[in-house]
Amino acid sequence: MSLFISDAVAAAGAPSQGSPYSLVIMLVVFGLIFYFMILRPQQKRAKDHKKLMDSIAKGDEVLTTGGLVGRVNKVSDTGYVTIALNETNEVVVKRDFVAAVLPKGTMKAL
């Protein structure tokens, strides 16, 4: 048993010499992977959603994040949208909660 312990101590006693720049290079590579895999797609998605919110107009058929499908009746400057779910029901939601603008005639197809 003591034979194995002495081998392990002897093997750990010699420190390995590595390049001092290897840690810096590894951190830069991980930073680039983080940027291209996480940050960049998220920024693109946010930019596309902002463009979608700015393009909402009266008469568009939209889908909200809550799952409501309706036609836009009124777009206010304060960031709210009035959506008609049918002839009698209207809902006021924030413009941020519009998930998608649907093609014309989607409500009739449902």
> Residue 27 and residue 70: Cα distance in Å, rounded?
49
Q: Please report the DSSP string for 64-85 in residue order.
A: ETTS-EEEEEEE-TTSEEEEES
Is the entire prediction scored with pTM above 0.75? no
Closest CA relative to residue 85, chosen from 105, 65, 55, 63: 63
Pick the CATH number of 55-109 from 1.10.287, 2.30.30, 3.30.200, 1.25.10: 2.30.30
Give the pLDDT confidence score for residue 6 in this predicted structure.
56
Which portions of the chain are predicted below pLDDT 50?
none
Tell me what pLDDT residue 9 has.
54
Tokens of 68: 């409501």
Helices (H) and strands (E) in the chain, counts: 4, 5
